[in-house]
Structure 1
């Protein structure tokens, strides 16, 4: 993606690397602290404090993740004019991204630790045109939930779309982004095949407070799984929505894997 006056707000890859670096430092400090624990219990104490983040995946989680991977784009897969790929360091918009007020959180990130309920499994992919440094990038995230969690998430997303229509703030590790407006966007053509869907257009102020940028979010639910698509571009261009060929291709692959 691009650089220049839009970079600090719209380059989620760069923002993610900063967040990963901060997490890596924190982890290194944590390992050092555990190593210096005289009674040798530092590791287990840290695991208790970190809860889910420190726990080994359960059999159910492993199965859910395998199911989502089978239904997701593969690394290097062609999607129309786009190419899908895996995130080398994990996808953007993770637990380092929160919203103010908190009720707007579903519009920012549904990752574990910042979303309620947590997904039982999550798989993220990226779709873009590799040679277009300033082109469109779409984050594609499949999440599995238990005990009606997917319905709860969609309800919270719909409420956030209404309550936060006048704007809110996205809080990140090293910066803040001001959302000026949240508006409904057009649902994908296959939405009638899904259990429910939500689509939004975001107007966001760049970090210099001078330019308006536009992003789109579409989330589709099928049973206990949500498919989320977030599209952005490193310019002031309004792309008009998440590229339909990406959503249609992912939906088709998901349905085929589901059988």
Structure 2
């Protein structure tokens, strides 16, 4: 497993959030502006690299959207007022799952990297920077396509894990304060939770909203080192993404 690659990408998350926080603090103190950071994140588990290499690939009868379809469904510039949108690099999609300690926290640890077991058949990601200089948040999402019955397994695994896991170690970093949040009642089913990561000396409060729409799972994450107690996924991003995904699924049904 490419633990080093995964760890370096996790470290970049902390750097991105630190930059966003610094920019937000500077703006709040009247020292000038700047965009919030870019929260591109690593993703996806073992077995998915072939699907990422071929955007049209999807096993016959799997029910999974292809990567090309996920790209059509993903948010683009202009889709969400007040936010800049950036595609997650292809190199950040398809990383191996790395064992977490304790094992009960594995689904939570995997989803921090947009990874899962079972592995998604295809995945795309987006990162968002608020155009408001006072907003130091970093928001990301991933659309993960699964075969029949697999998306349900992912949500079940997260639901069980967040109920048992309180803290864990993953790729040499410490995570604590794992807490289940109120189910937002989105899509066919959803879960929400938060945690605090300790990465490269930085405390990174992170909130997750994970939604299943048919065989597709959409994972939204938000980080904000200036206002960790109130960090949350912007509803404008969630609503716009789910609306666009449902529109594509209806068109391809």
TM surpasses 0.5:
yes
1:195-214 aligned within 5 A: 195-205=188-198, 207-208=200-201, 212-214=203-205
C-alpha separation in 2, matches of 1:127 and 1:79: 10
- Secondary structure of 1:66's match? helix
Task: Give the alignment partner of residue 218 of structure 1, picking from 209, 212, 215.
Answer: 209
Distance 1:93 1:229, change over 3 A: farther
- How far did 1:220 drift? 0.4
Distance 1:80 1:91, change over 3 A: farther
C-alpha separation in 1, matches of 2:103 and 2:157: 11
C-alpha separation in 2, matches of 1:234 and 1:54: 36
Give the TM-score, by structure 1 length. 0.67
Query: In the TM superposition, what whole-angstrom CA distance separates every residue of 1:128-155 from its partner, at most 9, and x where no partner exists?
Result: 1267597211111001111311011111
C-alpha separation in 2, matches of 1:203 and 1:180: 5
Once structures 1 and 2 are overlaid, which stretch shifts more, 144-153 or 104-113?
A: 104-113
Once structures 1 and 2 are overlaid, which stretch shifts more, 102-111 or 144-153?
A: 102-111
Residue of structure 2 in register with 1:47 after alignment: none
**Residue-pair matches, total:** 210
- Secondary structure of 2:193's match? strand
- How far did 1:245 drift? 1.1
Are 1:168 and 2:168 an aligned pair?
yes
Task: Tell whether the 8 Å contact from 2:82 to 2:130 is kept in structure 1 after alignment.
Answer: yes
C-alpha separation in 2, matches of 1:196 and 1:232: 23
C-alpha separation in 2, matches of 1:253 and 1:156: 26
Task: Tell whether the 8 Å contact from 1:72 to 1:253 is kept in structure 2 after alignment.
Answer: yes
Residue of structure 1 in register with 2:14 after alignment: 10
Distance 1:180 1:117, change over 3 A: same
Query: In the TM superposition, what whole-angstrom CA distance separates every residue of 1:53-82 from its partner, at most 9, and x where no partner exists?
Result: 4686473269611221111112x2341321
Residue of structure 2 in register with 1:183 after alignment: 179
- Secondary structure of 2:174's match? strand
Gap regions ≥5 residues in structure 1:
1-6, 20-49
Give the TM-score, by structure 2 length. 0.68
